[in-house]
Amino acid sequence: MKSNYQNCLLILCLTLYSLCVFGQNHSFTDKYNLDFNLKNKIRTPWKSPYMYPIVLRQDSTQTFHGKNPLSLAQVKWGSSYIRLYGQIEQTLLLPGIKVDSAIVYLDCKSQNLQQAQLIISGIDKYEHVLYSDTLTLLGTENWGTFVKSVNIHDVTFLHFKIQVKGIDSKAKQSLYLDRLDIKLAGKDINSFPLPTIPIIPDIRKSDLISLSFSNDNALNQISDLSNKKIVAIGETIHGSEPITEAAVQLIKYQVAHNNCKLVLLEVPTEQTLLWNRFIQGDSLIKSENLIPELSRFLTSPHAMLDLLNWLKLYNRKAKEKVWLFGIDLEIASSQSAIYFYDFIYRVKEKKQRVLLDSLCSKLYDYKSFPQALQILDENAEIEKLLGENEYQILRHCLSLSIVAGNESIKRFSIRDNHMFLNISFLLNLLCSGDEKAVIYGHFIHTNYINGDPSFPFLKSFGSDMKTKFGDNYYSIAVLAGEGNFRTSNKDTILLEKSLQTPPKNSLENLFMRTNESFCFLPVSVLPPQLTYFRLVGNSYLEDQFAVFAPTNRMDAIIFVRNSKAFDICKGDLSNKQDYNRYLMKQLLINNERYQQKKVFSK
């Protein structure tokens, strides 16, 4: 009797654990929200890749099939509504049955839309997109069922993208969604069990390399670090002190031992122009002035300041200097102007030249960037004042910013391509011959396929790097097992949150089953299978795990068992309103300089 009671209690505990980790996903409809029931906006698998002017809400004024439909509606701006434009999408893992085709049904209705479509794509086990089919959803303001048959031979995932665009009018615009059904061999997909992700067998101790935060001696055992032209360090979460420390240790090691002359960060290039000046020994740039910017990108400011100071000391003694630059695109063009203006103004303080005054005046506003570029092109003296490399980087960065345009959505959408162009340019300019480079950013960008399994068409810069450099591009994912980290939501930048417990069939749990607290593993020793893998970008997610095959996306893994949210420094800005006020203050400072005629138009 006692044994039966203990067994029942064990089963109950395991069931509760499963529900806590995975949620109550008894069917495909539950797991993938195919009935568009927005019970929890944070947990819904339907995601939007960009900052589109679109709102997802349950429309309480309507009822269909016994529930309120989901509405893709307009954003209100002041007293009016912005023209509807955007998309939601997700990727569904199919049940493990052999079927050559599937029929997809979508119940919906539209209101004043120029475009509405469902794009269905088949993805194989290697995460390659095999095809895309489009189903047009226009034609009725009454509820209707739209049907599409798709090929699923050799297909492991189905990706769904719902796109909308309103008419050019002030009329109310919306797409109402009730349900998405999938039939396989004539049966509803919910009649099949959810696919099981197998647990990866335990790692052999001989395959692991134990690491230490106190010294970098063990890194000598990783031969690829000395053989690869470019080493990319991709953290799977931002905001972790030990993960940043692990990345900084590896960067220092590459500089000290493997002829690394270029350090690249997932930060806007124009922001790091002064950072590079700092490590080159410019006495006008103080380390404490960099803290607010360091924290903004959810990396440990302590660890990053330590890196900058270390590089400054290294350069003081080194014959061949190390360069450090960002590779990202600033999303807000106005903020880009602040960084460019501040950089040239600081240079002008040291080298008083009317020509730099003239350049400053054209960097004050994004709209005058083309004139700033013209000044650079027409005045060879500026190249002498800045130095050839800084001149070329400033010109390149300005040119790309002009091409990117003024719209934040567009700038956000081309980030990875922009980063690839920046990396290629900086490698060509600053990393010749057998010199090496190291890149530190989020794994979403550094991996070999795409930014997020939910968005298979958004190529990561890592995919372009792998195509261009082949085996000379080496991608390392940095994982955390448990603990907490800093992230953001709509109100707060430096929000402290706990890491979700890794499911047993996750890569993180595989490492948690070892005795290692900090270690390295080549991915080549892992089986080529799907697994759960933590993936959190800038914004907080309750469901932190995605499904993909590690062997498709990277070369190696660094594991940190215990994550800790980095400590907030004096001067950090944790509230988004405070940070916006800080940016406004910088803008006002530049405006005051401008109005007091400390800069003059040519």
pLDDT above 60 for 490: yes
∠ CA 462-468-474 to the nearest 5 degrees?
50
Can you give the pLDDT at residue 588? 57
User: Per-domain residue ranges for the chain?
Assistant: 23-191, 205-329+414-571
For the CA atoms of 461, 463, 465, 467, the dihedral, rounded to the nearest 10 degrees, stands at: -150
Three-class SS of 389-407: HHHHHHHHHHHHHHHHCCC
pLDDT beyond 70 at 41: no
Q: Enter the pTM of the model.
A: 0.89
- DSSP state letter for 211: -
Task: Please report, to the nearest 10 degrees, the dihedral formed by the alpha carbons of residues 359, 361, 362, 363 taken in order.
Answer: 90
Measured CA to CA, the distance from residue 227 to residue 541 in angstroms comes to 37
pLDDT at residue 425 is higher than 50: yes
2-20 per-position pLDDT tens digit: 444 344 433 333 333 333 3
Q: Rounded mean pLDDT of 72-79? A: 86
Q: What is the pLDDT of residue 487?
A: 82
For residues 557 and 520, the answer to whether their CB atoms sit within 8 Å is: yes
What is the Cα–Cα distance from 532 to 543, expressed in whole angstroms?
11
Q: Is the pLDDT of residue 445 over 90?
A: yes
**Residue 15: its pLDDT value, please?**
34
Q: How confident is the model at residue 327 (pLDDT cuts 50, 70, 90)?
A: very high
CA 576 from chain centre, in angstroms, equals 19
pLDDT value of residue 23: 42
pLDDT at 125 over 70: yes
Name which residue leads in pLDDT, 16 or 169: 169
Q: How far apart are CA 428 and CA 442, in angstroms?
A: 23
Enter the CATH code of domain 205-329+414-571.
Answer: 3.40.1660.10
- Check whether 42 has a pLDDT greater than 90: no
pLDDT at 22: 44
Q: Is a pLDDT exceeding 90 seen at residue 298? A: no
pLDDT grade, residue 576 (50/70/90)?
low
49 CB contacts (<8 Å, ≥6 apart)? 87, 89, 413, 451, 452, 454, 455, 458
Tell which CATH architecture fits domain 23-191. Answer: Sandwich (2.60)
Q: Rounded to an integer, what distance in angstroms lies between the CA atom of residue 227 and that of residue 257?
A: 12
- Residue scoring higher pLDDT (451 or 382): 382
Percentage of the chain exceeding pLDDT 70: 88
Sign of CA dihedral 587, 588, 590, 594: positive
- 317 pLDDT exceeds 60? yes
